[in-house]
Amino acid sequence: MRIDIVTIFPEFFDVLDISLLGKARQSGLIDLGVRNLRDHAHDRHRTVDDTPYGGGAGMVMKPEPWGEALDGILRPRTDAEYATDGADAPTPLVIFPSPAGEVFTQAMARELATEEHLVFGCGRYEGIDQRVFDDTATRARVRLVSLGDYVLNGGEVAVMAMIEAIGRLIPGVVGNPESLVQESHENGLLEYPSYTKPAEWRGHEVPPVLLSGNHGAIAAWRHEQQLERTRRVRPDLLPPESTHAESAP
Ligand code: JDN
């Protein structure tokens, strides 16, 4: 997968050199380009923001640097590329983190992990001039995406979270694909509690069923733990009617 990021803080993404995603880059599974929006501002102060039309607090990101930065990423294909890619090659998907966007979920991460080329545009200040979204939508697919119902100072941290969630779903990035299916949100429930050795620690014991060797009983206990936890802290994840303890039919 090709990933491009446009930001005024390229150093934020230095951490993508390390850990699982760093390895995925070294092995060529992820091809990452980080671009500084200010390279596309041509005044002496490399200005990327200005006051809002209509008044109001804060500053808005100017459209011209965004247009030029995205031109470099979404450049029209040459005739030769057109011939090799085929006319029906998928367009890049451009994602702008925004508190006004659709909420990012594990289902969206799975969908985005199948894309060939993702572009992330990190806004700052009060946001980006609306025409940047409108103009980008004339030559690529555009989605505004929110991590959740809280406000960050800019899109960078949201993009880091999205890249981590998406990157680990790309085949080959996580060594043991089995570890992807057992976790919170993958089956719509929260994860069951995990234990390792020692069997007793500071007076706390591991639930005996986990030491029983009875795989059916272990699976049933884990499922019950998932349901209990989900009912208690995230009833919104359960289908309606299943939020109460089961009753006899
Ligand atoms: O997802 B966020 O909370 C978010 C906040 C800002 C942003 C982009 C995303 N640009 C400016 C603030």
Regarding the beta carbon of 117 and ligand 1, being less than 6 Å apart is answered: no
pLDDT of residue 89: 72
Burial 87-100 (b: 16+ CB within 10 A, else e): eeeeebbbbbbbbe
| HSE (side-chain half, CA atoms, 13 Å) at 34 | 16
pLDDT tens-digit readout, 66-110: 999 999 999 776 777 777 766 677 799 999 999 999 999 999 999
Check whether 13 has a pLDDT greater than 80.
yes
Check whether 223 has a pLDDT greater than 60.
yes
Residue 28, sorted as left (phi over 0), alpha (psi -120 to 50) or beta, turns out to be left
Mean pLDDT in residue range 38-42: 98
pLDDT tens-digit readout, 158-211: 999 999 999 999 999 998 888 888 788 888 999 999 999 999 999 999 999 999
Ligand 1 mutation target, pool 149, 151, 160, most atoms within 8 A of CB: 151
**Ligand 1 centroid distance, CA of 140 (Å):** 21
Regarding the beta carbon of 29 and ligand 1, being less than 6 Å apart is answered: no
Tokens of 102: 């659709």
pLDDT of residue 85: 64
pTM, 2 dp: 0.92
Cα 25–Cα 31–Cα 37 angle in degrees, nearest 5: 115
Check whether 229 has a pLDDT greater than 70.
yes
pLDDT of residue 4: 98
- Residue pair 65/48 in contact (Cβ under 8 Å)? The answer is yes
Radius of gyration of the chain (CA): 23
pLDDT of residue 93: 98
